[in-house]
Amino acid sequence: MTGAVAARVVQAARGWIGTPYLHQASCRGAGTDCLGLLRGVWREVIGAEPETVPPYTADWAEAGRREVLRAAAERWLLPVAAGAEGPGQVLLFRLREDAVAKHLGLSAMAGDGGASFIHAYSGHGVVESPLSAPWARRIVARFAFPERS
């Protein structure tokens, strides 16, 4: 991902800050969940979404233990090599060690130069959070947006 694309991803994601959390939604200012945030940023930076997202429940993928979100990321995003961390990347999180990966965020750089990420989660909406050790250790993969879909 070029620096220009990364900068556009971060700028677009920051435009969603303050959007309330709403499961399955992807409408800046009205409501979104973490996947909806990624979808909205994709639309703003890349264009039309590459596939239709089927309806999903809050506990999706847990019963079957399928890495649905990771598989979709691998279809449409570019893997980031270890040690190549930077702003504008898609971060895939496993919230519990024994659970499937099912939370997404977009890496950014805080005003003080520290690592941060933009994400949507229940009770908070879209926020920019420090990429603290508890969050960083939950990252299972990093991806970059393609130049074009």
Ordered structural domains, the chain, with CATH = 3-144 (3.90.1720.10)
For residue 96, what pLDDT is reported? 87
Amino acid code (one letter) for 135: W
Neighbours of 13 (CB within 10 A): 27
Amino acid code (one letter) for 84: A
Alpha helices in the chain, H assignment, sequence order: 3-14, 34-45, 68-76, 133-136
For residue 58, what pLDDT is reported? 76
The first and second tokens of residue 56, run together, are 């999903």
For residue 54, what pLDDT is reported? 85
Strands 103-109 and 115-121: antiparallel
Residue of 74, 32, 70, 76 lying closest to 50 (CA atoms): 76
Amino acid code (one letter) for 60: W
Which residues of the chain fall below pLDDT 50? Answer: none
Tell me the pTM. 0.93
For residue 63, what pLDDT is reported? 62
For residue 66, what pLDDT is reported? 83
